[in-house]
Amino acid sequence: MTRNKASGFTLMEVMIAMTILAIALVAIYQLQSQSISMSTDSRFMTTAALLAQSKMVEAEAGSPLVNHKEDGDFGPDYSQYTWHLEVGDTQLPQFKKIEITVTNKLFISRGTYTLDLYKAAGM
């Protein structure tokens, strides 16, 4: 007597294959999500650094260094970015500290970039 085996997949085989597929898709989704997050952070850091450097050049080339604070934005091209400038004293009387903080209003956390410069007060 010969038995005819039915060809095809059993329910158990299909469930195991679906489980493996689900685990793989979750891992791929997490990697893609992390990649997008890192790309966004990188874009912010690059843009904020360039904007802070441009504002630092303006502050350094501007009027004599006296202690003061200023706030502003970067205009319509970078409407989500704001800046805060603070010129203050240091422990050495001949130097001033210029601090520029650039903030992206759209970021809840990690949306702040700070650039410091120490410059001789008479220059």
pLDDT in tens, 31-43: 999 999 899 889 9
Reading the block at residue 46, the tokens are 């690059």
1 within a domain of the structure (yes/no): no
> Contact 74/84 with Cβ under 8 angstroms?
no
On the question of pLDDT at 6 being above 70, the answer is no
Q: What is the CATH number of the domain that holds 100?
A: 3.30.1300.30
pLDDT at 62: 75
- Asked if residue 63 is part of any domain, the answer here is yes
Burial string for 12-49 (b: 16+ CB within 10 Å, else e) reads: eeeeeeeeeeeeeeeeeeeeeeeeeeeeeeeebeebbe
pLDDT above 90 coverage of the chain, percent: 61
- Per-residue pLDDT tens over the stretch 54-99: 999 988 887 778 888 999 999 999 999 999 999 999 998 889 899 9
What single-letter DSSP state applies at residue 117? Answer: E
pLDDT of residue 22: 96
- The number of folded domains in the chain is 1
Asked whether residue 43 is assigned to any structural domain, the reply reads: yes
Containing structural domain, residue 38: 11-120
2 lies in some domain: no
- Residue 67 falls inside a structural domain: yes
